[in-house]
Amino acid sequence: MNWLSDQHQLLLKSALLNSSEAIDAWNQWKSTIDLENIDYQSLRQLPMVYNNLRGRVDEDKFFNTCKGVYRRTWLANHILFNSTSDVLRAIIENNIEVLLLKGTSLILRYYNDFGLRAMGDVDFLVNIKDRKRAFKIIKGLGWTPNLQGSTWKEFIKVRFKHSLDFKKENNHIDLH
């Protein structure tokens, strides 16, 4: 953890340790932080801190911020999962094998709590032989590819990219 700042190390200890060292790290972290200027990476860790320390520390403005970020993350992830479930269903119904990547799989397999990991999109991995069908399915469900022209030919032109982003309202899918 030497490459992490002291503040980030304290926050990770607060989020991950089950001993009194987590509470000590939390108290140290709070003494060094301005909540109005918290960095993005720290903000993303606050739901795990909340989960780890709830019932073990006093509720103050710092802990209430953790609670609020946890609740916002929980809600945003539910909205994202609900908005993308039709895509997953359609891909499976069309006999395309799909693997959920990154945050989606972590939440479903390990965290078992929609509030613990912030997500910006849902990542689908399909076999290269199925990519054109998956592209058409996603687009057919009203998702817009983040490409000029939004056609399969445009997608092929950028095939060097590891994924293609689709947007529908404020939700995003990455097709890998």
Kindly report, as residue ranges, where domains of CATH 3.30.460.40 are found in the chain. 78-175
CA distances 25 to 22, 65, 121, 134, Å, are: 5, 17, 31, 46
Answer whether 166's CB lies under 8 Å from 141's CB.
no
Tens-digit pLDDT profile for residues 77-126: 999 999 999 999 999 999 999 999 999 999 999 999 999 999 999 999 99
The residue behind tokens 């987590």 is 22
Answer whether 121's CB lies under 8 Å from 132's CB.
no
Q: Which pLDDT does position 153 carry in this prediction? A: 64
Amino acid at 33: I
Q: Which pLDDT does position 72 carry in this prediction? A: 97
* pLDDT-derived band at 151, boundaries 50, 70, 90: low
The CATH class for the domain spanning 78-175 reads alpha beta
* pLDDT-derived band at 150, boundaries 50, 70, 90: low
For residue 7, the SS3 value is helix
